[in-house]
Amino acid sequence: MRTRLVRPEYAETFRCIGPVCEDSCCVGWRVDIDEATYVKYQSISPGPLRTLIDANIVPMHMGPYGKKPNSFAQVKMGHSGACPFHNQGKLCQIQVEFGDTYLSETCANYPRQSYVIDKLVDKTLTLSCPEACRLVLLNPDLLGSAGSGDHHISHDDSKNESDLVHYFWRIREFVIGLITNRVYPLWQRMFLLGTFSRRLDAVVRGEVKGGLLAMLSGFSAAVNSESLRPSIETIQPDLALQLGIVLELVKLRGSDALQAPRLVECLDAFARGVGYAPESTLQTMSTEYGAAYGRYFEPFFEEHAYILENYLINMVFRRLFPFGEKLFDRKAAPEPAKEFALLATEFALIKGLLIGVAGGHKETFSTDHVVQTVQTACKHFEHNAEFLGKAHKILVDLNLDNAHGLTMLLRN
């Protein structure tokens, strides 16, 4: 069987804009140095740069399983959180003096993220970089002809259909097709994606007669016939619940992270948009939140429908949805429903923030505000190693990690 390969080839067009970038990837993060780069730095002749390297690149302590090659050493960040090699021109001093080949793997690759799937290198982008965020979100034809399926792979369909990994490309093609199917409002596409993910779980458990191919064929037919739409449209929004979860997710990062100037600008606009004040109640803020959605968010994204689609497409690629890292662990069964819960949680945070920010800026709400909101949220939430785990625990504790609860996060 030949299957189309839908891949994030747009990542190849990314180019760092260096000193004109409105943010910095050299501030506020941990920077690992791989072993090969560390050894290369030891060959640099004595001088100001070598002195700076010796003072600020610290080898990691040996753990019980040895040092990881990509985390052999670590840059000691300054009191402001800035990398000591980040010069006044907003450039890396090591790169200035020795070129790109002296950058660590972490610095050379960011914001790119690579996976090898069926011997093909898939490169995608993390949206914590402003330029990457613009490249992904603001392209009305993100996948284009190259990423929309000009490449194919052959495989044997006679294999065990409960082995979802064997059908990775076919599942990805369906998922991307569903996300971009504008016959349905975006929240309904997400609802269908959640339903599809739960059915994939059932396939893994061997509970679906006919296996993956039969389920995929039947689900595709139901989506195309719109037979599921009447039941979906009976679902009513719960804006107080949705806003409450967004506020809880924001609190997860703590006060220190929420002081970054670009993020503070977004959160201030969000607060204005939902009518936040010391005496505000969740109910009064929900009313303002709903008004911001109807007056400013919805009209804007009806005109720019591709923006949030592109966000989700990039997330599907980045998170190897619906497999996650288990795609590379043949001993671990995939958990598509859990992967959807994580995807839906991040999307709910981004969308909730954008609704408030739209309300805060009113008629002046623009693509610049969208890029700033998505980029800063990705930088300060998505890049935190504990954020997704804590967010998922909130859903579990509130019994929202299910079809109804997740729909309430997405339905407006």
Question: What residue type is assigned to position 135 of the chain?
Answer: L
Q: Are 391 and 150 in contact (CB under 8 A)?
A: no
Question: What is the DSSP annotation of 303-347?
Answer: HTTHHHHHHHHHHHHHTTTTTGGGGG-TTS---HHHHHHHHHHHH
The predicted pLDDT at position 146 comes to 45
Dist. CA 116–CA 178, nearest whole Å? 24
C-beta contacts of 327-336 below 8 A and 24+ residues apart: 327/115, 327/117, 327/165, 327/168, 330/165, 333/204, 334/164, 334/165, 334/200, 334/204, 335/201, 336/164, 336/196, 336/197, 336/198, 336/200, 336/201, 336/204
**pLDDT tens digits for 221-261?**
999 999 988 889 999 999 999 999 999 998 876 555 557 88
The predicted pLDDT at position 192 comes to 96
The predicted pLDDT at position 153 comes to 60
The predicted pLDDT at position 88 comes to 84
φ and ψ at residue 213, rounded to 5 degrees: -65, -40
Q: How far is CA 327 from CA 2, 104, 262, 333, in A?
A: 20, 27, 35, 9
Q: Are 23 and 130 in contact (CB under 8 A)?
A: yes
Dist. CA 274–CA 258, nearest whole Å? 18
Q: Which residues pair with 75 in a beta bridge?
A: 57
The predicted pLDDT at position 91 comes to 84
Cα angle for residues 276, 281, 284 (degrees, 5° grid): 75
Question: What is the DSSP annotation of 87-124?
Answer: -TTSSBHHHHHH-GGGS-HHHHHTTEEEEEETTEEEEE
**Mean pLDDT per 10-residue segment, the chain (412 residues):** 79 89 83 91 93 91 54 85 86 91 90 89 93 96 65 57 82 96 96 96 89 92 92 92 93 66 92 94 96 98 98 96 87 90 94 98 98 94 82 90 90 91
Question: What residue type is assigned to position 362 of the chain?
Answer: K
The DSSP 8-state label assigned to residue 9 in this structure reads G
Q: Collapse the DSSP code of 33 into the 3-class scheme (helix H, G, I; strand E, B; otherwise coil) and give the result.
A: strand
Domain boundaries defined on the chain: 2-9+117-229, 26-109, 233-410
φ and ψ at residue 226, rounded to 5 degrees: 65, 25
Burial class (CB in 10 A: 0-12, 13-18, 19+), 172: buried
Give which of 260, 301, 33, 302 is closest to 128, Cα–Cα: 260
Q: Which residues pair with 54 in a beta bridge?
A: none
Q: How far is CA 182 from CA 137, 177, 309, in A?
A: 17, 10, 10
Query: Phi-psi region for residue 211, left (φ > 0), alpha (ψ -120 to 50) or beta?
Result: left
φ and ψ at residue 258, rounded to 5 degrees: -85, 10
- Please report, for the chain, how many H helices and E strands are present, in that order: 20, 7
- Which residues does 73 contact at the CB level (< 8 Å), separation at least 6? 32, 33, 35, 38, 57, 58, 59, 60
The predicted pLDDT at position 254 comes to 59
Dist. CA 33–CA 85, nearest whole Å? 13
Measured in whole angstroms, the distance separating CA 301 from the mean position of its chain's CA atoms is: 19
Dist. CA 244–CA 240, nearest whole Å? 6
φ and ψ at residue 124, rounded to 5 degrees: -130, -175
Query: Phi-psi region for residue 226, left (φ > 0), alpha (ψ -120 to 50) or beta?
Result: left
Dist. CA 102–CA 10, nearest whole Å? 26
Dist. CA 379–CA 381, nearest whole Å? 6
Q: Which residue has the tokens 């591709």?
A: 306
Give which of 180, 113, 194, 188 is closest to 149, Cα–Cα: 180
> Structure pTM?
0.91
Q: Which residues pair with 265 in a beta bridge?
A: none
